[in-house]
C-alpha cells in the first residue's frame, strides 16, 4: 500500500490538494482511499469511481476507543466511567485518529493508494513521528521484565488459575497495537511520500524548512513541494512586488524538494472537475531517499552522523538515555536506539555541521567505555584503559 501524506502551513490549501491528489490517483485506475478531515467537500467527490472518502473525526475515534474499552473500565472497582458521548478527546487525538484509520486501511487492504490530509504542518510532522513515539511509550510502560510477568499472568488467566481483571484487558490490547504499528511505515519514504503544500510567500520558507528538519529527524524528507502560484501578467507595482516575492520563495522552496506549480484559481474548487484541473495527469513525484544515521570509525572513536537538513543550532538538544540517543530538533524529538557497539561507548562530543543548509547534519562521537570493553579490544580500537 502506498501512502501520500500532504501537509502544509495553515491556509495553504492542504485539504484541497489532498482531494485533488486522490481524484488523480483514482483516475489512474488505482483503488484510492482519501483520509479527510471533517468538513465540507467538493460536490461529487464521493461519487468518483475508484475513490473512497473516509472522514476521520477525533471525536468519533475517541468514542469508539472508549466503547471498545468498556469491559475493562467496568471491571475497575469503584469506577463509574462516563458514556462514550461524554468523553472529551485528549490533545493530539487528531493525529491518533488518522494513525488508527491508516492502520485499519493497511490491515484490511482497503486501497492501493491512501491519500492522507494531514492538516497543518505541525500535525503532519507529528503524525510521521507518532508510530515511533508510541513504540517508545510501550517500551517504557512494558519493559522486558514486565512483559515476562505479563505473559505469565496471561497464561494463568487462560488456564483458570487466576481471575481476569482490568490489567488483562490492557495486556490483551498490546499485541494488536504492536502489530498495527508494525504495518505502518510513515518514516520510510519508499512507502510513504510526504508532499508539502505552500503558498510561496516569504514566511512559508522558514516554516517548511523547519518541517523538513523535523521530518529528517524521523528519517523522512519531502518528495515534492506543491506551490500554489499566481497567474502571470498582472499589471501595476503591487503585482510586480508580489510576483518578486513569489519568485524568491519558489527558488527557496525548490531546495527542499522537487517543485510542482499549482496555478491558483479565482474561486475555491467546488466540484470534481475543478479539482481535476488543479493537477496535471500523472503522479509527477519520485520517492525520496531515506535519511538514516550512519556510523564511521576512525582514530579510536566512532562517529554517528544523523542528517538534519536545514537544522539550526537554536533548539537542538542531545542527550544519552541508557541504550538510546535522544535528539531534539525543530520542535520534534526522536529516541535513536544505538547498536550493540555504541551502547558500550560513552558520548564524548557532538556538533551540528553546516547548520542552516541542506547539508546540515548532527555528528556525535563515541569512545569505548573501558569498563565495558576488554583491554585487547580497546587496544584494537586504538584506545587505552
Distance separating alpha carbons of residues 192 and 155, to the nearest angstrom: 38
Q: What is the mean pLDDT of residues 198-204?
A: 95
pLDDT digits (tens, 9 = 90+) for 104-127: 999 889 999 999 999 999 999 999
Q: Is the model's pLDDT at 354 over the cut of 90?
A: yes
pLDDT tens digits for range 134-150: 888 888 887 777 766 67
Could you tell me which residue, 37 or 194, shows the higher pLDDT? Answer: 194
Note the pLDDT of residue 73: 58
CA distances from 149 to 161, 162, 302, 377 (A): 15, 13, 37, 37
Q: What are the cell numbers at 252? A: 527557496
The confidence score (pLDDT) of residue 110 equals 92
Is the pLDDT assigned to residue 256 strictly greater than 50? yes
The model's confidence at residue 232, banded by pLDDT at 50, 70 and 90, is: confident
Check: CB of residue 298 under 8 Å from CB of residue 365. no
pLDDT band of residue 38 (cuts 50, 70, 90) is confident
Q: Which structural domains are found in the chain, ordered by start?
A: 2-278 (3.40.50.300), 294-381 (2.60.40.790)
Give the pLDDT mean for 7-14. Answer: 92
**Exposed, middle or buried by CB within 10 Å (0-12, 13-18, 19+), for 205?**
buried
What mean pLDDT comes out for the span 30-45? Answer: 91
Q: Residue 266: what pLDDT? A: 81
Torsion, Cα of 7, 12, 15, 16 (10° steps):
-130
φ, ψ (nearest 5 deg) of residue 287 = -55, 140
Least confident of 30-39, 48-57, 278-287: 278-287
The whole-angstrom separation of Cα 354 and Cα 362 is 9
Residue 383 clears pLDDT 70, i.e. is over it: no
CA atoms within 13 A of residue 193's CA, in its CB half-sphere = 22
pLDDT of the residue at 198: 96
In a 13 Å sphere around the CA of 206, the CA atoms on its Cβ side amount to: 3
- Residue pLDDT, tens place only, 170-194: 666 677 777 888 888 899 999 999 9
How, if at all, do strands 332-337 and 259-263 pair? unpaired
Average pLDDT, the chain: 86
**All 3 cell numbers of residue 61?**
475515534
pLDDT in tens, 67-87: 766 665 565 666 677 787 888
DSSP 8-state secondary structure symbol assigned to residue 265: P
pLDDT tens, residue by residue, 291-336: 899 998 887 789 999 999 999 999 899 999 989 999 999 999 999 9
Of the candidate ranges 60-74, 240-254, 334-348, the one whose mean pLDDT is the lowest = 60-74
Identify which of 164, 166, 94 has the alpha carbon closest to the alpha carbon of residue 123: 94
Q: Is the pLDDT of residue 1 over 90?
A: no
In sequence order, what E strands does the chain have? 2-8, 32-36, 51-55, 113-120, 192-198, 222-229, 259-263, 294-298, 301-307, 317-321, 324-329, 332-337, 345-353, 361-368
Please report the pLDDT score of residue 23 as a whole number: 94
Give the pLDDT of residue 385. Answer: 45
Amino acid at each position: 500500500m502506498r501512502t501520500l501524506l500532504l501537509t502544509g502551513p495553515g491556509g495553504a490549501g492542504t485539504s484541497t490538494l489532498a482531494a485533488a491528489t486522490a481524484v488523480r490517483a483514482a483516475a489512474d485506475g488505482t483503488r484510492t482511499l482519501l483520509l479527510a478531515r471533517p468538513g465540507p467537500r467538493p460536490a461529487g467527490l464521493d461519487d468518483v469511481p475508484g475513490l473512497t472518502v473516509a472522514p476521520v473525526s477525533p471525536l468519533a475515534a475517541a468514542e469508539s476507543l472508549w466503547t471498545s474499552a468498556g469491559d475493562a473500565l467496568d471491571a475497575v472497582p469503584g469506577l463509574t466511567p462516563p458514556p462514550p458521548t461524554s468523553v472529551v478527546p485528549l490533545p493530539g487525538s487528531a493525529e491518533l485518529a488518522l494513525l488508527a484509520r491508516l492502520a485499519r486501511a493497511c490491515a484490511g487492504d482497503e486501497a492501493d493508494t491512501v491519500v492522507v490530509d494531514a492538516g497543518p504542518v505541525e500535525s503532519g510532522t507529528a503524525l510521521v513521528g507518532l508510530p515511533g513515539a508510541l513504540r517508545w511509550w510501550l517500551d517504557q510502560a512494558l519493559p522486558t521484565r514486565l512483559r515476562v510477568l505479563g505473559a505469565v499472568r496471561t497464561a494463568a488467566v487462560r488456564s483458570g488459575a487466576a481471575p481476569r481483571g482490568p490489567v488483562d484487558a490492557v495486556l490483551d490490547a498490546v499485541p494488536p497495537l504492536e502489530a498495527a504499528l508494525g504495518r505502518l511505515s510513515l518514516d520510510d519514504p519508499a512507502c510513504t511520500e510526504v508532499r508539502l503544500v505552500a503558498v510561496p510567500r516569504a514566511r512559508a520558507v522558514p516554516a517548511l524548512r523547519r518541517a523538513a528538519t523535523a521530518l529528517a529527524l524521523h528519517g523522512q524528507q519531502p518528495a515534492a513541494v506543491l506551490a500554489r502560484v499566481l497567474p502571470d501578467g498582472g499589471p501595476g507595482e503591487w503585482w510586480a512586488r508580489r510576483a518578486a516575492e513569489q519568485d524568491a520563495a519558489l527558488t527557496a522552496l525548490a531546495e527542499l524538494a522537487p517543485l510542482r506549480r499549482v496555478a491558483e484559481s479565482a474561486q475555491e474548487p467546488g466540484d470534481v472537475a475543478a479539482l481535476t484541473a488543479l493537477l496535471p495527469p500523472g503522479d509527477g513525484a519520485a520517492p525520496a531517499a531515506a535519511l538514516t544515521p550512519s556510523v564511521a570509525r576512525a582514530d579510536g572513536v566512532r562517529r554517528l552522523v544523523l542528517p538534519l537538513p536545514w537544522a539550526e543550532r537554536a533548539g537542538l538538544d542531545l542527550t544519552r538515555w541508557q541504550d538510546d540517543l535522544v535528539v531534539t530538533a525543530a520542535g520534534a524529538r526522536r529516541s535513536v536506539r544505538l547498536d550493540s557497539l555504541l551502547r558500550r561507548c560513552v558520548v564524548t562530543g557532538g556538533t551540528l555541521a553546516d547548520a542552516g543548509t541542506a547539508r546540515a547534519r548532527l555528528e556525535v562521537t563515541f569512545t569505548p567505555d573501558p569498563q565495558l570493553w576488554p583491554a585487547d579490544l580497546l587496544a584494537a580500537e586504538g584506545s587505552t584503559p
